[in-house]
Amino acid sequence: MIGQYTALAIQSNIPVARSREEFPDHIKHLGKILDSAVNTLNIEFPVRLAVFPEASFQGFRDEYIDQDHVDYVNRMAIDIPGPETDLFGQKAKQYNTYIVATAKAKHPKFPNRFFNVAFIVSPEGEVVHQHYKCQLWVKEHSTTPHDVYDKWVELYGDGLDAFFPVAKLPIGNIGTTICMEGSFPEPYRALAMNGAEIITRVAYPEPWVSQGQWEVQNRARALDNTCYVVSPNHGTMLRRHGRADQIGGGNGGQTMIVDYRGVVTAKVSYATESFIGASINLAALREHRARAKFCNFLPYLKTEIYQKVYERPIWPKNLAAQEPPGKHAEVEGIFMDTVTDLQKRGCFFSPA
């Protein structure tokens, strides 16, 4: 088994990219932060895992301007693998580390669709893992596997690997999640049941970072599933890297790493570009899972009871099976229809 090593979480500013031609410069900027971080943190334990926040080289402009889905596919979505992942691969080779990043990307089996994808690049420079984001909020334009559920199951089956794959790597079993997925316990439980020991959770917006939800979620997901959670967030939003014309705001920082007992082992307390590192000790995690009778909750699960929670569907599936996902107003309408249905079931109650 590999000895202790350092996991690195990079807190980068958010670019507002307007074309794919900007992506290489943004990725090179991320590489400079990685250079500084590795050169510092390698003094203690070697950096074997480096995690970048969501949309670190593309930004969120499509969400801000309510961009047409197909227009984004044609102008901004990348291929995985492709030139952009190759640039991350160069840094992974340079430092003999695994790199986790995300991208809004095309899929060869779903024309005119893009997905929000977390990917892992190996020290050999190869993409060794992809996870397609399953939970969105109403402002996000990505397709999810649930939006094309029947076709997705036809292609990949309906097991845990189809929706929540885990990369079995020499540095541990790693699952990946993106932003909104951290608001739900289910993706993390699915990854843990699929063998995950380290889960990456990238980014969350304001004001829910400064209000505390971000930390509560990260710590709970780690504690619930006896796993490490590595959670980089963004700093400031920029029009262009390397310039001072800041738009302001951003995602509030507070990048953190949480251990398998829900303890924050490293955290950034401000919202500018930075990085943190913390030790990953797989031997200790595996011994804890094998021996601890508290803060080790998976063996206690009464699964037959909890299955009842999910017998009736809530959010409708296959919404993008025929047409790409709609704009904000359409998705907000689906959300309100779902709220109404929950009220009819007696789960929610109408306000006075």
Report how many domains make up the chain: 1
Residue that the structure tokens 């050169």 belong to? 39
Give the DSSP H/E element, type plus range, for residue 31. Answer: helix 23-41
Nearest Cα neighbor of 207 from 242, 236, 249 is: 249
Domain membership of residue 100 (yes or no) is yes
Domain membership of residue 352 (yes or no) is no
Nearest Cα neighbor of 34 from 83, 86, 93, 104 is: 93
- In the structure encoding, which two tokens stand for residue 116, read together? 């929000």
- At residue 343, φ and ψ (nearest 5 deg) are -65, -40
Q: How confident is the model over 181-195, as a mean pLDDT?
A: 98
Q: Could you tell me the residue range of the domain that residue 133 belongs to? A: 5-345
CA distance 124 to 98: 9
CATH code, 9? 3.60.110.10
Give me the chain's average pLDDT, please.
Answer: 94
Do 343 and 349 touch, CB atoms closer than 8 A?
yes
Q: What is the pLDDT of residue 64?
A: 86
Nearest Cα neighbor of 330 from 133, 73, 66, 77 is: 66
Indicate the pairing of strand 14-15 with strand 237-238: parallel
Residue-wise pLDDT tens digits, 139-187 = 998 999 999 999 999 999 999 999 999 999 999 999 999 999 999 999 9
Domain membership of residue 350 (yes or no) is no
3-class secondary-structure state, position 226: coil
Q: What is the pLDDT of residue 244?
A: 46
- In the structure encoding, which two tokens stand for residue 228, read together? 């490490």
Q: How confident is the model over 59-79, as a mean pLDDT?
A: 94
Q: What is the pLDDT of residue 249?
A: 54
- In the structure encoding, which two tokens stand for residue 167, read together? 């990369």
Q: How confident is the model over 102-118, as a mean pLDDT?
A: 97
Nearest Cα neighbor of 102 from 79, 127, 123, 119 is: 119
Domain membership of residue 292 (yes or no) is yes
Domain membership of residue 351 (yes or no) is no
Residue-wise pLDDT tens digits, 219-270 = 999 999 999 999 999 987 665 545 544 455 567 899 999 999 999 999 998 8
First to last CA, the chain: 59
